[in-house]
A and B are shown apart, each in its own frame.
Chain A
Amino acid sequence: MQVVVENLNVVFPQPDGSTFRAVEGFDVQVEKGEFITILGPSGCGKTTTLLVVDGLVPPSSGLVLIDGKRVTGPSPECALVFQEFALLPWRTVEKNVMLGLELQRNFSSREMKEIALRYIDMVGLRGFRNHYPHQLSGGMRQRVGLARALAVNPEILLMDEPFGALDAQTREIMSSELLRIWEQDKKTVLFVTHGIDEAVYLGDRVVVMTGQPGRVKEVIKVNFSRPRSLEIKDLPEFVSLRRRVWDLLEEEVIGKVKARSRQA
């Protein structure tokens, strides 16, 4: 097992003295090269879980292991792709992709440039390396975000609703692009989303979470062969799987609405 999360609890103290339980008893085990999607209603602690694996948020209790070692802080094994792209606006595409390499301080500037170019090519942005982020469309910006994460050659790619800020069509294209790139060296991926379609289309397994506090409700195996094309979304198997996931999620969302209306 490459990533092991066992009985993870994350509690945030609130300014008024109370505590907010973001994640409760979360378990997951991920094999090397596996594509895991984590699906849940918004505010269910998916992102928090991802940040704990990345080492940016310390767990309140529980165990997080990568390659058998306890996670104590950000490590070069993981790279994070952000929902809002988080490209530095004062850097060109090339310089943004180089950021992680600069921070590792293992390469000469010529090597960094070469590596950056290779990944800019891979995400299909050849010819845009001297553009600034504000000159690019949303989809192109997230391609840069992906290239930046891949450039440090991580073993594990953590993606925090990476296509959440994109329009529907761009989102579809980006998810099939992501699979194309992923097929090349099959890194381990933890992909957080609230899109059911996306979760089923991308993942080897879909981890469905409950809302507040976040727990694992069910893990669903997705058996479509790879490489997958966007056409599989029309298969009856896909439709029924999506239905099943939707039913699981619906209980959560409706449960939440009911709880809220009781409060009111």
Chain B
Amino acid sequence: MKPTHRKWISGLSVLAFLAIWEILVVTGGVKVGDVSRPTLVVKSFFELTASGEIFQNLIISLRSFFMGFAGALVVGIPLGVVVGHYRRPALVLDPMVMAIYTVPRMAMLPLLVVWFGVGLGANAALVFFSGLFPIIINTSVGIREVDQTYVGVVRSFGGSEWDVWTKVLLPGSLRQIISGIRLGVGRGILGMVVGEMYTGTEGIGGRIRVYGNSFRTSELIALITIVSILSFLMMELFQWLERRVKGHQAEKV
């Protein structure tokens, strides 16, 4: 089947689903509380946009996301590199990383609130901890899996430790690092929404809680859609980056 045909079929199936949903609700075929329907969702989306509610809260959410995630990158990549390459630090850090990794991030939230305060502090911290571990783990695996023969090549040409890093270890693990970042973005967005839902009424997560508590399903679905579009776009971006790098190292040579 041609790729364009496939796209058409996927698009049509989504449209068909929305149409059936709309029709079932309008004709009274479905009788479960207030399930809302696509046209109402679109209407409330425009209302929320017009009032500036979406924009304001999106800014609040993204601020805590980027603060936390920048921290996760700055800490996670170097830590992953160290754990991946040096045996002694790995022995010291590995158990700690694993211990913290096994704690469900959401269970840490009350603690983070105490430490960093409700709002931006706790939310950014939750994003940080959510995004951190996929980055550390993927970076360290990426570094560890670089073929040692390549290191031998650089050394045999008289390359220094610095050359080993810049010519082999970093380029060789780039794909894996990006894939860690991609996973981290997904977890980070999850952390962002959950943190906001738990700690306040601001941010997209906060609004989701507010509308949820008052059973306003149209607004609720509109907000959830925004979150999913946001993570979809971020994932696509990193998947695209990953593919670009992957093309160059399709197999071990």
Contact = CB atoms under 8 A, between A and B. Distances in A.
Interface of A: 54, 56, 73-76, 78-80, 82, 84-91, 99-100, 102-104, 132-134, 141, 152
A88 B159 CA distance: 15
Given A133-B253, A134-B250, A90 B156 contact: no
Given A82-B149, A134-B253, 10 more contacts: A56-B156, A78-B156, A79-B156, A86-B153, A88-B167, A89-B248, A90-B249, A99-B153, A103-B163, A133-B253
A89 B147 CA distance: 11
B17 interface: no
Nearest to B174: A90
A256 B156 CA distance: 32
B167 A89 contact: no
B149 A104 contact: no
Query: For the complex, would chain A's binding face be called helix, strand, loop or mixed by DSSP majority?
Result: loop
A133 B248 CA distance: 9
A103 B248 contact: no
Contacts of A104: 157-158
Nearest to B159: A103
A76 B249 CA distance: 29
Given A100-B157, A103-B163, A104-B158, A86 B248 contact: no
Bin chain B's interface residue count: 20 to 34
Interface string B217-253: 0000000000000000000000000000100111111
Interface in B26-51: none
Contacts of A78: 156
Interface in B161-185: 163, 167-168, 171-172, 174
A100 B219 CA distance: 61
A207 B19 CA distance: 81
A82 B155 CA distance: 13
B142 to A, nearest CB: 13
A89 B253 contact: yes
Nearest to B251: A134
B248 A132 contact: yes
A86 B149 contact: yes
B149 A74 contact: no
